[in-house]
Structure 1
Amino acid sequence: MTTWDSLYARRASRMRASEIRELLKLLDRPDVINFAGGIPDQALFPAEDFKQAYQDILAGPDTGRALQYGMSEGSNRLRTWIVGHMRARGIECGPQNILITSGSQQGLDYIGKLFLTEGDTALVQWPTYLGALQAFNAYEPNYDRLDPGANRAAEDFAATATEKGGRIKFAYLSPDFANPTGLTVDLAERKRLLALAEDLGCAVIEDSPYEALRYDGDALPPILALDSEASGGIDNTRTIYCGSFSKSLSPGLRLGWICAAAGVISRLVLIKQASDLNSPVLNQEAMARVAESVFESHTAKTNAVYKARRDAMLAALERHMPAGVSWTRPDGGMFIWMTLPAGLDAAELLEMSIETVRVAFVPGRAFHPDGSGANTLRLSFSCNDYQKIEEGISRLGRLIPETVTSTV
């Protein structure tokens, strides 16, 4: 019998199942009110627009090309739309600055592969996106804490990385409505981060899958826009922007993009070629048509729905959460981050919650590289209507005091 464990690469020991992906299985249980999955509401997908796009492609003269292998960089039509989209956000770029990926998750994996050598350090928000940790872990980095507003000296970061046997390669963050906290990095901190990266000589990874999902306040310039303006153009920047269609139009087509200096894109293209050759041309062509026709109107429609659900959850939390519980108040995105009284373990609370009140959420420890944050959890409001949000938060609010009592 083959002893597989003895054959696996050492990096395989750092691969862990996503708690979120496991919790998504609960979506099949109708008795569970699910605040766990950070996914868009499928009832809001522009299904008819995609249906028409696929019909037009498959009935038109370019059917063969759409079913063929494609360029590793991505479809010209889709990249052209993305160039216009990025320029509208203040980022002057061309198709040579865009790489199409199979969702922004693939982009994070490619970035980890390109930049991280064993023992290097990645600076990350604390807590941070679990999928980013999963993507980076395979390349055996160390992590250090990137706290917006902390004003920690560059020398301190660099010394810590050196002690661990490597150097700082990048600072990773999701500046708009971050997963899992829902928080946004303000303009002053975006500029401070760029100055810190300059001092450290490292890259900045700007992961922005939720940027279009703003419900309150004015949009802030992307870090890449600030970097491009300060450095004299995108090809002089140190920021790598990861975008996605998964939260705005459809996750099922698995399409995202990386926008960066042309030299960085050319390196990432080589990784793409070795990985999967190219993202499906048919899907790219369909996405381009739908984005061209309905992106702005569709996101406006979905944002109105998500805003109402966010407001419903915030109001329910105010009504039903006991003293000692706090939470964030996001201006957009899909998430609210909750902090429980000290001493409570959200993983234990989840087990009790599923068993008794049938409410699911994501315990917060998985989002912390050091395994801290036991008394935190993530709630998603994107896929439940007002009645379910009210009922689910009410049930959870009644359960927490019982859990406090049982741990005393």
Structure 2
Amino acid sequence: MNVEFSDRTSKLKASEIRELLKLTQKPEVISFAGGLPAPELFPIKRIEEVTKQVLEEKGEIALQYSTTEGYAPLREIIVNERMAKNGVNTTIENILITNGSQQALEFSAKLFVNKDDVIICESPSYLGALNAFKAYEPKFVEIPMDDDGMQMDKLEEAIKNNPNTKMIYTIPDFQNPSGKTMSIERRKKLAEIGAKYKIPIIEDSPYGELIFEGKPYPCVKSFDKEGYVITLGTFSKTFCPGFRIGWVCASKEILQKYILVKQGADLQANTFTQMIAAEFMQKYSLDEHIKKIIDVYKKRRDLMLESMEKYFPKEITFTYPKGGLFTWVNLKEGIDAVDVNVDALKQNVAFVPGGSFFPNGGNKNHFRLNYSTMDEEHIVEGIKRLASVIKKYY
């Protein structure tokens, strides 16, 4: 076909993670590639019960169009339980329900970024966000991280050197892909920097409640006095990813723009799944469900890291995440993790090469491992297989 697409379309590329997931659908493949929750932890029976209740008692509402902002009882739950738990005092007028937080990421770039504007992000950063942003043809400036997250002195220097910076993107809790967590002091500083330079901060927070050690840190937004911090939340990692329920928490002025963009995109999120989620959380404790998830993921993290210590070459380093879904592996310079992954797939084990997490390229000697999806037996066997492949490169 001779079809002329927009210039913007040429910037779109298939998600490397999604393409990898197609290859890992074979039952014999041990996949550490996706950021998938453990399916055996989905509360299927309770959802079945609640779904029936919603249809019987509120079916005509559940199957009808609804408001763009989202189902009010669910927004109340987000305000009073999820956001309050993270130190944010807000109201439902500050909450918009989206089709997963991925939609909110795409909306953020649409709202704030013109061609050649600068988006500042952590280095490395979440591949799904980078792909969503790239359609708007920005330039990316990467800020290095240490064990306390994004380095604030380097961030402020980058803003001064790039006056057309329109957005700062961060994943402060158990960052995807590195597993690192931003310190409380830097969260405070980040909120101050956003206000000082009048730049929106997109705080992507899908993993904050999946904490294995210590207490949860307050959101960056909890330190926001001027309204420049926009927090994106989701139930995908703590409840059901298939429901595609995320949210934006922002000042009323900013949120109104997100609402307008959503009206143009899809009018509203799914009424039925919003009502099921709200009914579930009114009837059962989501916190209790999250505790079950944490217990399982912590054991799997411990087992993966222990297995890596035991079987990987000693020169290899990796992060020790205190929550979330991922650890980040550093190979010696000169090794391309894509090549390692090709060889690993021949042994029926998969991961995500790290190069795609760096928007400006390079840094090919890294990869991301997920420990939430595979059971304990497969984690050990998968790491053994992966270690045998990596040793060929050392």
Superposed pair shares fold, TM > 0.5: yes
Q: What's the counterpart of residue 40 of structure 2?
A: 43
Q: What's the counterpart of residue 151 of structure 1?
A: 153
- The 3-state SS of whatever aligns with 1:124 is strand
Amino acid in the other structure paired with 1:8: F
Does structure 1 residue 12 correspond to structure 2 residue 2?
Answer: no
Q: What's the counterpart of residue 283 of structure 1?
A: 273
Q: What's the counterpart of residue 290 of structure 2?
A: 299
Contact 1:26 1:34 in 2 (8 A): no
Alignment of 1:155-304 (within 5 A): 156-159=158-161, 161-162=162-163, 167-227=164-224, 231=225, 236-292=226-282, 293-304=284-295
Amino acid in the other structure paired with 2:267: L
Inter-partner Cα distance in structure 2 for 1:310 and 1:239: 31
Structure 1: which 5+ runs fail to align? none
Q: What's the counterpart of residue 147 of structure 2?
A: none
Q: How far off is 1:195 after superposition?
A: 2.7
Does structure 1 residue 21 correspond to structure 2 residue 12?
Answer: no
Inter-partner Cα distance in structure 2 for 1:370 and 1:153: 17
Q: Residues 191-233 of structure 1: CA distance to partner in whole angstroms, max 9, x if unpaired?
A: 2222322332201110001111111111111000111xxx2xx
Q: Residues 321-374 of structure 1: CA distance to partner in whole angstroms, max 9, x if unpaired?
A: 10221100000000010001111100000001111x221000000110011220
Q: What's the counterpart of residue 94 of structure 2?
A: 97
Inter-partner Cα distance in structure 2 for 1:145 and 1:314: 28
Inter-partner Cα distance in structure 1 for 2:363 and 2:387: 20
Inter-partner Cα distance in structure 1 for 2:312 and 2:385: 10
Contact 1:363 1:376 in 2 (8 A): yes
1:67 to 63, 70, 73: 63
Contact 2:125 2:176 in 1 (8 A): yes
Inter-partner Cα distance in structure 2 for 1:217 and 1:274: 42
Q: Sort the Cα spacing of 1:224 and 1:14 in 2 relative to 1 into closer, same or farther, 3 A.
A: same
TM-score, normalised with respect to structure 1: 0.92
Q: How far off is 1:403 after superposition?
A: 2.5
Does structure 1 residue 138 correspond to structure 2 residue 135?
Answer: yes
Amino acid in the other structure paired with 2:71: S
Inter-partner Cα distance in structure 1 for 2:157 and 2:355: 29
Q: What's the counterpart of residue 380 of structure 1?
A: 370
Percent identity over the alignment? 38
Inter-partner Cα distance in structure 1 for 2:191 and 2:223: 8
Contact 2:152 2:186 in 1 (8 A): no
Inter-partner Cα distance in structure 2 for 1:202 and 1:331: 30
- The 3-state SS of whatever aligns with 1:205 is strand
Q: What's the counterpart of residue 32 of structure 1?
A: 29
Amino acid in the other structure paired with 2:46: D
Q: Sort the Cα spacing of 1:370 and 1:156 in 2 relative to 1 into closer, same or farther, 3 A.
A: closer
Q: Sort the Cα spacing of 1:188 and 1:28 in 2 relative to 1 into closer, same or farther, 3 A.
A: same
Amino acid in the other structure paired with 1:342: E
Q: What's the counterpart of residue 314 of structure 2?
A: 323
- The 3-state SS of whatever aligns with 1:101 is strand
Inter-partner Cα distance in structure 2 for 1:364 and 1:142: 20
Structure 2: which 5+ runs fail to align? 145-149
- The 3-state SS of whatever aligns with 2:114 is coil
Inter-partner Cα distance in structure 2 for 1:67 and 1:140: 38
Amino acid in the other structure paired with 2:281: A
Contact 1:104 1:244 in 2 (8 A): yes
Q: How far off is 1:27 after superposition?
A: 3.4
Contact 1:181 1:378 in 2 (8 A): yes
Contact 1:89 1:221 in 2 (8 A): yes
Q: Sort the Cα spacing of 1:226 and 1:150 in 2 relative to 1 into closer, same or farther, 3 A.
A: closer
Contact 1:44 1:302 in 2 (8 A): yes
TM-score, normalised with respect to structure 2: 0.96
Inter-partner Cα distance in structure 1 for 2:143 and 2:195: 15
Q: What's the counterpart of residue 78 of structure 2?
A: 82
Q: What's the counterpart of residue 111 of structure 2?
A: 114
Inter-partner Cα distance in structure 2 for 1:154 and 1:29: 46
Q: What's the counterpart of residue 399 of structure 1?
A: 389
Q: Residues 57-85 of structure 1: CA distance to partner in whole angstroms, max 9, x if unpaired?
A: 1111x211110100000001110111102
Q: How far off is 1:153 after superposition?
A: 6.3
Contact 1:334 1:382 in 2 (8 A): yes
Deviates more, 1:287-296 or 1:32-41: 287-296
Q: What's the counterpart of residue 360 of structure 2?
A: 370
Inter-partner Cα distance in structure 1 for 2:75 and 2:121: 29
Q: Residues 158-211 of structure 1: CA distance to partner in whole angstroms, max 9, x if unpaired?
A: 33x34xxxx111110100011111111111111222232233220111000111
Does structure 1 residue 310 correspond to structure 2 residue 289?
Answer: no
Inter-partner Cα distance in structure 2 for 1:25 and 1:154: 40
- The 3-state SS of whatever aligns with 1:123 is strand
Contact 2:152 2:189 in 1 (8 A): no
- The 3-state SS of whatever aligns with 2:153 is coil
Inter-partner Cα distance in structure 2 for 1:135 and 1:102: 14
Inter-partner Cα distance in structure 1 for 2:323 and 2:298: 7
Contact 1:116 1:141 in 2 (8 A): yes
Inter-partner Cα distance in structure 2 for 1:300 and 1:156: 39
